């Protein structure tokens, strides 16, 4: 059975599930293992004579939207596999990203410092005018 994936509080059919992704999607949505959910669906199907659960399952497959492509989870899996394959390039990528972030923060701090100095100069000017 295919799965739905968790995106905040949204239920999606998973693109990595077995049949339409409904069970996997419910598991991801509620942060549960998919095995017990699939087992529950199978046991309900056996106990109700298949038709009701199959109809409900197919309706869920039609109503629940498919998981959007390029989700964070896929990105996370790509990064971890790439890390295992090329550790040195990953370290270099992380260093480069850190340097970019450091440069951005330094720029923001500079702007804040300049604004504070401008405000101080303005207050000093006002103070001198009001003496």
Distance of CA 119 to the CA centre of its chain: 40
Tell me: do 16 and 78 sit in the same domain. yes
Tell me: do 42 and 92 sit in the same domain. no
Q: What local confidence, expressed as pLDDT, does residue 114 receive?
A: 85
Q: Are 5 and 29 in contact (CB under 8 A)?
A: yes
Give the tokens for residue 55.
Answer: 């109809």
Helix axes 51-63, 34-48, angle to 10 degrees: 130
Tell me: do 58 and 109 sit in the same domain. no
Tell me: do 92 and 75 sit in the same domain. no
Query: Which 3 state secondary structure label does DSSP give 50?
Result: coil
Handedness of CA 23, 24, 30, 32 (dihedral sign): positive
pLDDT, averaged per 10 consecutive residues of the chain (131 residues), comes to 50 87 90 92 91 92 86 56 66 85 88 86 86 72
pTM: 0.49
Tell me: do 77 and 103 sit in the same domain. no
Tell me: do 33 and 67 sit in the same domain. yes
Tell me: do 20 and 48 sit in the same domain. yes
Tell me: do 18 and 38 sit in the same domain. yes
What residue numbers bound the domain in which 112 lies?
87-129
Q: What local confidence, expressed as pLDDT, does residue 60 receive?
A: 93
Tell me: do 15 and 78 sit in the same domain. yes
Distance of CA 104 to the CA centre of its chain: 24
């Amino acid at each position: 059975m295919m799965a739905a994936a968790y995106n905040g509080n949204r239920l999606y059919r998973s693109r990595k599930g077995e049949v339409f992704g409904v069970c996997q999607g419910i598991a991801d949505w509620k942060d549960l293992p998919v095995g017990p959910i699939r087992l529950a669906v199978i046991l309900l199907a056996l106990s109700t004579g298949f038709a009701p659960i199959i109809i409900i399952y197919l309706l869920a497959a039609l109503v629940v939207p498919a998981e959007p492509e390029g989700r964070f989870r896929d990105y996370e899996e790509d990064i971890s596999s790439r890390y295992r394959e090329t550790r040195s390039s990953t370290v270099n990528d992380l260093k480069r990203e850190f340097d970019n972030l450091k440069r951005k923060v330094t720029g923001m701090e500079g702007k804040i410092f300049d604004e504070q100095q401008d405000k101080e100069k303005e207050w000093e000017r006002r103070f001198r005018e009001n003496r």
